[in-house]
Amino acid sequence: MVFTKIIFPFIVDNFYLFLPLLLPLVYLRIFFNKSELQSDKERSKKTTKFAQKEKEAGNRTQNEDADDEVEEVDDDDELEDPAGPAVEDVDFISYEFTQYTEEEMILRSQQFFQEMNKRRTIRVFSDKPVPRQVIENIIRTAGTAPSGAHTEPWTYVVVSDPKLKVSIQDIVEREEMINYTQRMGIKWTNDLKFLKTDWNKPYLTEAPYLVLLFKQVHGYTNTGQKKVHYYNEISCSISAGLFLAAVQQAGLVTLTSTPLNCGPALRSLLNRPENEKLLMLLPVGYPGPNSTVPALSRKSLQEFSSFH
């Protein structure tokens, strides 16, 4: 009542008296809006520059990228061909699903776990030959892995030639000696002590097959343009997991190795293109007659999972 009858008419009649108060308020609002926008822009610029620098340094994995803000897409970029096939080239077909009973599922999952639980990393190999077809099937299995935008960014290079194996051993042992004595440092070498590994890698000439997994950091389209390989390291790592499972299922053994600093020399020895970077070196074969493994225990289900 007081407001509508007295205060409001007073404000309307004398609004010019309030103008000096309003102007600074409007000015302040504009100023804060501007500085907010500015700091947003600077933050975004910094993130992009940081990601770019990390990429240029070549020490950033796709995995680390996944947690960052996504870089702005520059729409002025020349339109590239799609990473995968064109939308009009892909039909959708019905999925052939095999339905098992609950009992069958429990049994199958149990049996698969029991088989995989027997898998161990083997570091002493027999030179007993393995049929090439087995290796082909194992790699076929690895090739069934899902991949970012179905780019299938993996190359499996299989070496059985004895001379080439000696060259690989020379490269790896030379680098591993520097790794153990200089690059890895006290903490890393201490953490590895229980495995009793060193820079000698006899398995590189003992195992009938050395399988080198290269991640394709990008690909090429039919017209020769660079094709983005989304999450290529994650995709290749999933593929490697299937490879390990297939080796186990076939009744063979392998060693998941990531020889530090050997990538460029092995890439050049095996004539691989510059878009391929070595991810893993996996000897495959039978365990050697005196092969031992460290008695390691695995975490229980409760320790590494949580059900809600």
Ligand X SMILES: Cc1cc2nc3c(=O)[nH]c(=O)nc-3n(C[C@H](O)[C@H](O)[C@H](O)COP(=O)(O)O)c2cc1C
To the nearest whole angstrom, how small is the minimum distance from the Cβ of residue 129 to ligand X?
Answer: 23
Distance CA(215)–CA(156), nearest Å, equals: 9
CB of 294 to ligand X, least distance (A): 7
Q: Shortest Cβ distance from residue 46 to ligand X (Å)?
A: 32
- Cα torsion 301, 283, 263, 243 to 10°: value is -50
Here the tokens at position 253 are 């053994």
Looking up tokens 């995995």 gives 63
Helices (H), 179-206: 185-192, 203-206
Q: Which is nearer to ligand X, 227 or 235 (CB)?
A: 235
Give the shortest CB-281-to-ligand X separation in angstroms.
8
Shortest CB 187 distance to ligand X, Å: 16
State the minimum distance, in angstroms, from the CB of residue 253 to ligand X: 10
Nearest distance from C-beta of residue 180 to ligand X, angstroms: 11
What angle do the packed helices 102-116 and 232-250 form, to 10 degrees? 90
Residue 278, phi then psi, degrees to nearest 5 = -65, 130
Task: Using CB under 6 A, list all residues that contact ligand X.
Answer: 120-121, 123, 195, 197, 255-258, 293, 296
Question: Which CB, 137 or 261, lies closer to ligand X?
Answer: 261
Nearer to ligand X, 147 or 179 (CB): 179
Q: Where are the alpha helices (DSSP H) in the chain?
A: 2, 8-13, 19-57, 62-65, 102-116, 132-142, 162-178, 185-192, 203-206, 232-250, 263-269, 301-304
CB nearer to ligand X: give 120 or 174. 120
**Cβ-based nearer residue to ligand X, 233 or 276:** 233
Reduced to 3 states, what is the DSSP secondary structure of residue 157? Answer: strand
Toward ligand X, which CB reaches closer, 17 or 293? Answer: 293
Choose among 200, 178, 213: nearest CA to 283.
213
Q: Is the CB of 166 or the CB of 293 nearer to ligand X?
A: 293
Q: Residues 256, 84: contact at Cβ < 8 Å?
A: no
Residue in the shown chain whose Cβ atom is closest to ligand X: 121
